[in-house]
Amino acid sequence: MVMPQPMPVREAAVSTRVTRPERDAAFERLFDEFSAPIFNYVLRMVADRDRAADITQDTFIKAYRKLDSLADEGSRRSWLYRIATNTAIDEIRRRRFVTPMGNDERHAQRPDAGPGPEAQAMAGTLDGRVQRALLHLKANHRQCLLLSDVEDMSAQQIGEVMGLSYGAVRTLLCRARGEMRRHLAAEGFTR
C-alpha cells in the first residue's frame, strides 16, 4: 500500500493580522478612553440611564466585533460615535413600536409618577428646562447639537459620524440651534 505523501508546506506569508492579545489590548484602550463620553452622549440622546447603559454596552460589543474595520487610528473617535449613534437610533426606533399592555390594574403596578432618580440626576447635571428642550428636538437636530456643543466635535467630524457633508452639517447645526432657541424660549429662557 502506498501512503499518500503530505502536501508540501508553503512558506507562511507574513500576516498583517493583529493577534488576539493585541486586539484585546487595543479594545481595552478604546473602552477606557471612550466609555464615559459615549455613555454621556447616549444618555443625552435617550434621557434614561438604564437605556443609555444598554446602548453603550451594545456600542462597545459592536465596536469589538468590527475593530478590524477601523482603518485609521485617527478616526476612531468619529467611528465609535457613529456606532453609538446608529445603535441609539435603532433602539429609539424599536421603542417606538412597543405598545404598553392593557390597563388591567390587578396584574400591573404603576410606577410613581414623580421624577425618578435618573431624572433627578439629569437635573443635577443639566438644567431640567434645557434637558426638556433638548428632548423636544428632532433626533438628528439633537444629535448634531450634542456632537457639536457637548462632545466638541468639528463640523467635519460630525459629518463623519452622521454621514453628511460639511455643508449639510453646518445647515443642520444652524437649524438645530434655531429649534433649540424656540424650545428654550417656550421653557422660559430669554436672551
**Residues in Cβ contact with 46 at an 8 Å cutoff, skipping those fewer than 6 apart:** 52, 55, 88, 91, 92
Q: Do 130 and 84 reside in the same domain of the chain? A: no
Q: Do 74 and 143 reside in the same domain of the chain? A: no
Residue at 26 is within a domain: yes
Please say if the pLDDT value at position 44 is more than 80. Answer: yes
Q: What is the span of the domain harbouring residue 181?
A: 126-191
Q: Please state the rounded mean pLDDT for residues 8-24.
A: 60
Confidence (pLDDT) at 9: 45
Q: Do 132 and 87 reside in the same domain of the chain? A: no
Please say if the pLDDT value at position 156 is more than 70. Answer: yes
* Domain harbouring 156, CATH code: 1.10.10.10
Q: Do 31 and 91 reside in the same domain of the chain? A: yes
- Domain endpoint, select from 57, 78, 96: 96
Confidence (pLDDT) at 54: 95
Q: Please report, in angstroms and rounded to a whole number, the separation of the first and last CA atoms in the chain.
A: 96
Buried b (16+ CB within 10 A) or exposed e, 74-111: eebbbbbbbbbbebbeebeeeeeeeeeeeeeeeeeeee
Please say if the pLDDT value at position 4 is more than 50. Answer: no
Residue at 121 is within a domain: no
* Domain harbouring 61, CATH code: 1.10.1740.10
Number of domains in the chain: 2
Residue at 6 is within a domain: no
Q: Do 24 and 92 reside in the same domain of the chain? A: yes
Residue at 167 is within a domain: yes
And the C-alpha cell for 100?
404598553
pLDDT band (50, 70, 90) for residue 166: very high
Q: Please state the rounded mean pLDDT for residues 187-191.
A: 70
Q: Do 25 and 92 reside in the same domain of the chain? A: yes
Q: Do 73 and 140 reside in the same domain of the chain? A: no
Q: Do 84 and 137 reside in the same domain of the chain? A: no
Tell me the pTM.
Answer: 0.64
The Cα–Cα gap between 137 and 159 comes to 19
Residue at 86 is within a domain: yes
pLDDT band (50, 70, 90) for residue 14: very low
Residue at 8 is within a domain: no
Residue at 119 is within a domain: no
Percent of the chain with pLDDT over 70: 73
Sign of CA dihedral 162, 164, 165, 166: negative
Confidence (pLDDT) at 139: 85
**Of the listed ranges 24-28, 75-79, 121-125, the one predicted with least confidence:** 121-125
Percent of the chain with pLDDT over 90: 34
- Domain endpoint, select from 78, 96, 114: 96
Please say if the pLDDT value at position 1 is more than 50. Answer: no
